């Protein structure tokens, strides 16, 4: 199976995402922001970083990159798509997911191991987790506070689209402690913390992040 990882100018965690894909047993394909060709991948990851320097707003310029036209089109027809951190911001700016990521409540960039619970284990990216699994993966961002209007929040909660929630003290002021959400279909997931940095306890706080990537294989085989 081929999983595309997009590199925008300013992407930082693209190699890490590719490493996680390989660790899960899939093939990582590098996709370039200026090239609309998705190279026949089965799924796409938008990695973390500061694409286009976060100018204007995080993700606001990236959504117009040539590659995003193809990504949006394929995702709308069911291709699994995971946006991590800056990738989540791009998904919101692309209107593939509702809401917005705003400046952390503490106004500082915050990097720490973060406990989260997996609230929905039926998406393409989380089906390998036990229900309400509690995991420890890195959180690292300056603009990770998830915000949306009340109606959207009710809808996300009501439809079980809150994929992951922060445990303990709210690290950034996100509404309802939301760390990740999905679209209604469950193929598109946006996640603020970084599972790709928790695939090996040698370099991360745990190996708890790996099931995000193995889940994808299960969901693709099952289709």
Partner 1 sequence: MALDTVAIAEKTPNQEQPFAALGLKNDEYQRIREILGRRPSSSELAMYSVMWSEHCSYKSSKVHLKQFGEKAPHSDALLVGIGENAGVVDVGQGYAVTFKIESHNHPSFIEPYQGAATGIGGIVRDILTMGARPIAVMDPLRFGRADAPDTRRVLPGIVAGIGGYGNCLGLPNIGGEILFDETYAGNPLVNALCVGVMRHDQIKLAKASGPGNLVVLFGAKTGGDGIGGVSVLASETFGSTGPAKRPSVQVGDPFTEKVLIECSLEIFAEDLVVGIQDLGGAGLSCATSELASGGSGGMQVALDTVPLRDPSLSPEEILMSESQERMCAIVEPGKIARFLEICKKWDVTVTVIGEVTDGDRLIITWHGEVIVDVPPRTVAHEGPVYNRPFSEPAYIARANAQVLDLPMPDESEIAAAIVKLMSSPNMADKSWVTSQFDKYVQGNTIQSQPEDSGMVRIDEKTHLGVAISTDANAPWSYLNPYEGAKLALAEAARNIATAGAKPLAVTNCLNFGSPEDPGVMWQFAETVRGLADGCLEMGLPVTGGNVSFYNQTGDVAILPTPVIGVLGVIQDVRSRTPMSFDRAGIDLYLLGETFADFAGSQWAYMHEQRGGQSPQADLQREMRLIELLLECQKLFVAAHDLSQGGLAATLSEMVLRNGIGAQIQLTQDLATALFSETPGRVVVAIDPKNSVALQEMSQKYQIVLTKIGVTGGESLTINNAVISLTALGDAFMSTFPKLFG
Compute φ and ψ for 39, nearest 5 degrees: 55, 35
Supply the DSSP symbol for 177.
G
Smallest separation (angstroms) from partner 1 to the CB of 223: 29
Residue 175 vs 197, nearer CB to partner 1: 197
Residue 116 vs 162, nearer CB to partner 1: 116
The pair of structure tokens assigned to 24 is 């899960």
3-state secondary structure 120-158: CCCCCCCCCCCCCCEEEEEEEECCCEEECCHHHHHHHHH
Smallest separation (angstroms) from partner 1 to the CB of 108: 5
Residue 9 vs 160, nearer CB to partner 1: 9
Just list the catalytic residues.
85, 194, 196
Residue 48 vs 190, nearer CB to partner 1: 48
Smallest separation (angstroms) from partner 1 to the CB of 200: 8
CA distances, 141 to each of 51, 58, 210, 217 (Å): 13, 11, 20, 28
CB 8 within 8 A of CB 39: no
Smallest separation (angstroms) from partner 1 to the CB of 208: 14
- Rounded Cα gap, residues 83 and 193, in angstroms: 10
Residues that bind partner 1 (CB under 8 A): 9-10, 12-13, 15-16, 19, 34, 49-50, 52-55, 108-112, 138, 140, 142, 194, 196-197, 202-204
């Amino acid at each position: 199976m081929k999983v595309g990882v997009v590199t925008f100018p300013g992407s930082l965690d693209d190699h890490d995402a590719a490493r996680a894909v390989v660790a899960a047993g899939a093939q990582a394909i590098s996709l370039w922001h200026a090239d609309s060709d998705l190279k026949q991948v089965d799924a796409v990851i938008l990695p973390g970083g500061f694409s286009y320097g976060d100018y204007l707003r995080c993700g606001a310029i990236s959504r117009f990159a040539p590659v995003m036209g193809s990504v949006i089109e394929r995702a709308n027809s069911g291709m699994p798509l995971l946006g991590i951190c800056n990738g989540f911001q791009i998904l919101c700016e692309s209107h593939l997911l509702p809401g917005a990521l705003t400046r952390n409540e503490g106004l500082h960039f915050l990097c720490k191991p973060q406990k989260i619970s997996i609230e929905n284990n039926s998406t393409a990216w989380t089906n390998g987790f036990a229900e309400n699994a509690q995991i420890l993966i890195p959180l690292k961002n300056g603009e990770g506070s998830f915000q949306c209007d009340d109606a959207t929040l009710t809808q996300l909660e009501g439809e079980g689209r809150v994929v992951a929630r922060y445990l303990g003290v709210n690290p950034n002021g996100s509404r309802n402690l939301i760390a990740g959400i999905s679209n209604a279909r469950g193929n598109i997931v946006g996640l603020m913390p970084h599972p790709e940095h928790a695939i090996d306890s040698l370099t991360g706080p745990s190996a708890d992040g790996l099931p995000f990537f193995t889940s994808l294989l299960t969901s693709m085989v099952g289709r």
